[in-house]
């Protein structure tokens, strides 16, 4: 089995590493905050003191970080991944970043004699735990074919979409719909609630109705109570919507529902809810509707403002 490196042990990255450890892989992980990786260290993961060290110790090194600047921070410089990767090795980037940034990084990886694919995922922690995560892949077809068995250990649906960067274009096209669906779901719940239907009843009906996508099924209940740790917070969701709007501008594709959803995320940040799961757009709309709700606890409240969750 290949020796694996994993850089970025946030909510999703950490659970992917946990899954790989369960399957018997040797994983050397790096995270800027070591304490967040402690549960994985206790499970058998080796901890690297730098991205370079993780890459040196591994045949295949994953990265899964929040944005383009974070990706640069763990790949360039004397302690970055590029300083540790070499001939015959592979880099799999699972971050959602600008496709152009990914293509530029792939070129730098190839200068080292290695190769890189972009492999963002679609799903959540629950999807991953259920073994239903899907992976999109961009890069050389021959490299994809070598790495496909490893990716299938993470999720059962692995789809090659084309050259480097195109998996990210696909991921952005998918993710813009998450925010749009969540906002529409919130509108429906609030219409039902203000008509006199208890919120819990409205949510239960909708997550078992024809509109219930897998995302709505697991995230819809968040309008009743936010998770203790955000699965995908407001800042991360807004980053993806901004990528979608920029792609729309370049490609002459209007994205009006994306733009509207983005404004609700801006409002969530203004209320201090940027670290909560992006399902908090419900709370923004609820305030506009005259319904006051503590977004972190799911209880009604009168004072304005809000609370911040932890990432």
Q: Mean pLDDT in each 10-residue stretch from start to end of the chain (311 residues)?
A: 94 95 97 94 97 98 96 97 97 97 98 97 88 95 98 96 97 97 98 96 97 93 92 95 97 98 98 96 96 52 28 24
Say what the pLDDT of residue 209 is: 97
Say what the pLDDT of residue 4 is: 98
The CATH number of domain 169-300, selected from 1.10.1040.10, 3.40.50.300, 1.10.3860.10, 3.10.450.50: 1.10.1040.10
What are φ and ψ of residue 215, in 5° steps? -65, -45
Contact predicate 138/171, CB 8 Å: no
State the pTM of this model: 0.87
Contact predicate 194/296, CB 8 Å: no
H or E element at residue 122 = strand 121-122
Phi-psi region of 224 (alpha: psi -120 to 50; beta: other; left: phi over 0): alpha
Say what the pLDDT of residue 297 is: 42
Distance CA 192, CA 195 (A): 5
The pair of three-digit structure tokens given for residue 224, joined into one six-digit string:
């009743």
What are φ and ψ of residue 61, in 5° steps? -115, 125
Distance CA 260, CA 311 (A): 25
The pair of three-digit structure tokens given for residue 27, joined into one six-digit string:
């994983």
Distance (Å) of CA 162 to CA 108, 143, 157, 227: 19, 12, 16, 36
For the chain, the structural domain boundaries read 4-164, 169-300
Say what the pLDDT of residue 302 is: 27
- The fold adopted by the segment(s) 4-164 is Rossmann fold (3.40.50)
């Amino acid at each position: 089995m290949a020796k694996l490196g994993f850089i970025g042990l946030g909510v999703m990255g950490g659970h992917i590493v946990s899954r790989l450890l369960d399957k018997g892989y040797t994983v050397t992980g790096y995270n800027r905050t070591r304490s967040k990786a402690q549960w994985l260290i206790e499970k058998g993961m080796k901890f690297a003191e730098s991205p370079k060290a993780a890459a040196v110790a591994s045949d295949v090194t994953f990265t899964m970080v929040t944005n383009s600047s974070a990706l640069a921070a763990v790949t360039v410089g004397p302690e970055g991944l590029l300083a540790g990767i070499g001939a015959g090795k592979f880099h799999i980037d699972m971050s959602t970043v600008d496709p152009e940034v990914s293509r530029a990084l792939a070129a730098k990886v190839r200068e080292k004699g290695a190769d890189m694919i972009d492999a963002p995922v679609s799903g959540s922690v629950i999807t991953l735990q259920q073994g239903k995560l899907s992976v999109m892949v961009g890069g050389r077809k021959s490299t994809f074919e070598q790495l496909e068995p490893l990716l299938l250990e993470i999720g059962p649906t692995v789809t090659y979409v084309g050259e480097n960067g195109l998996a990210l274009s696909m991921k952005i096209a998918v993710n813009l719909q998450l925010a749009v669906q969540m906002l529409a779901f919130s509108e429906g719940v609030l219409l039902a609630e203000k008509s006199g239907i208890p919120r819990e009843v409205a949510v239960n009906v909708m997550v078992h109705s024809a509109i219930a996508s897998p995302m709505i099924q697991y995230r819809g209940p968040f309008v009743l109570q936010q998770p203790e740790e955000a699965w995908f917070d407001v800042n991360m969701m807004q980053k993806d919507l901004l990528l979608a709007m920029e792609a729309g501008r370049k490609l002459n594709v209007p994205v009006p529902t994306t733009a509207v959803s983005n404004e609700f995320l801006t409002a969530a940040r203004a209320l201090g809810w940027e670290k909560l799961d992006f399902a908090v757009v419900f709370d923004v709309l609820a305030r506009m509707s005259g319904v006051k709700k503590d977004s972190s606890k799911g209880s009604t409240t009168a004072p304005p403002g809000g609370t911040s969750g932890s990432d």
